[in-house]
Amino acid sequence: MNQKLQVISASVAALVLTSLPCSPQSADFYAGKQIVFLVGGNAGGGYDLYARALSRHMGRHIPGNPGFVVRNQPGAGSATAAAYLASVAPRDGTTIGAVFPGVIIGPLLEEKSQSLFDPTKFQYLGSADSGTRVCITYENSKIKSFEDARTNKAIMGASAAGGSTRDYAYMNNITAGSQFEVVSGYKGTVDIFLAMERGEVDGMCGLDWTSLKSQRPDWLRDRKLNIILQNGAGSEPELDRMGVPTAWTYIKNDADRQAVEMVVSQQIFGRPFLAPPGTPAGRVKILRDALMSTLSDPQFLEDAAKSRLDVSPSSGERVQEVVEKLYASSRETIRRAKDIISPPS
């Protein structure tokens, strides 16, 4: 064989090997290793609960049965954790993350986030849940319905910019006519719940319905909450039966509807899990397959049920597709979406 043919043969062989879904080296890689599961929210929050439940089972679905350790890195609506994953974390498949959906769409809508990381570069492993977000008020609030919120002011607790509790409150003010006074700066939903109990705030918006059910089931049981609005691509049957209106009832402007559709599309990946950019394809496939297997594992589902965690998985490929579609949105829709989640000037 002449030298040119040898080069071509070697190139073809390399291409075939790199295109294999999982090489033996990738399959053996995790033996004796530990995977860090970085959570961009506080301990005890909804994202933390999902990560800890997954960490108890996911290793069984990975060749080599690695251990898992969960680490919390809250801050800036989980942008701190996302920035770490993008620029500092090892890119060998030994670190994965759980971040808020808002941090994935944030750089598209907030100029200051663009230099920190590019969400389209992450390797999405999948999502544990896709669902609806709600606005709630506590039992001692005068705001008992969304109609009340359209005619009276309510103080709503919120995290930093990029967090759904802040963005959704402003979005409902601008597009659905509520009069929420947004108080930002809380670390997460656990702190806002405490503020509600103390009477510092009336309630919050942008809370995942599944998180509410898992974090405060006693409040729901004892009817300590008013669930006044649901935000989602459609409507949640459970909330429909409770008579909770959707935001779409109040949004009449077509431009606003398109912008809201863009913002709420992040709920398709309501509990996103991802690996750093540049993680080898073979290890991404292992992690994606392991996540999907875990989310249908009877032992995990039993564990999730005990913690009241809803499971409605989306594949890594599906999440990757949705993120890329979001970043291909028209300038006009992006501009309006930015406007509706921003404080009034």
Res 102: pLDDT: 82
Res 251: pLDDT: 97
Res 97: pLDDT: 98
Res 210: pLDDT: 85
What fold, for 24-130+268-340? D-Maltodextrin-Binding Protein; domain 2 (3.40.190)
Q: How far is 123 from 156, CA to CA, in rounded Å?
A: 34
202 contacts 137 by C-beta, under 8 angstroms: yes
- In this structure, the number of other CB atoms found within 10 A of the CB of residue 344 comes to 8
Taking alpha carbons only, the member of 143, 138, 149, 154 closest to residue 194 is 138
Which of these CATH numbers, 3.40.190.10, 3.40.50.280, 3.40.1160.10, 3.40.50.10860, describes 133-266?
A: 3.40.190.10
**CA angle, corner 118, sides to 114 and 120, nearest 5?**
140
Q: Which residues of the chain have pLDDT under 50?
A: 1-22, 24, 113
Residues linked to residue 246 through DSSP beta bridges, in sequence order: 230
Edge-to-edge strands of the sheet including 180-183? 180-183, 154-157, 203-208, 133-138, 225-231
Give the DSSP H/E element, type plus range, for residue 37. Answer: strand 34-39
Arithmetic mean of pLDDT over the chain: 89
Res 280: pLDDT: 97
Dihedral pair phi/psi, residue 35, rounded to 5°: -100, 125
Q: Which residues of 237-266 are buried (b: 16+ CB within 10 A; e: fewer)?
A: eebeeeebbbbbebbeeeebeebbebbbbb
Dihedral pair phi/psi, residue 157, rounded to 5°: -75, 150
Res 230: pLDDT: 97
Dihedral pair phi/psi, residue 204, rounded to 5°: -160, 160
Taking alpha carbons only, the member of 222, 209, 226 closest to residue 146 is 226
Distances (CA, A) of 245 to 110, 148, 234: 29, 13, 11
Tokens matching residue 220: 């729901």
- Domain 24-130+268-340 identical in fold to domain 133-266: yes
Taking alpha carbons only, the member of 267, 37, 261, 239 closest to residue 129 is 267
- In this structure, the number of other CB atoms found within 10 A of the CB of residue 187 comes to 15
The one-letter code for the residue type at 88 is V
Question: Structural domain boundaries of the chain?
Answer: 24-130+268-340, 133-266
71 contacts 47 by C-beta, under 8 angstroms: no
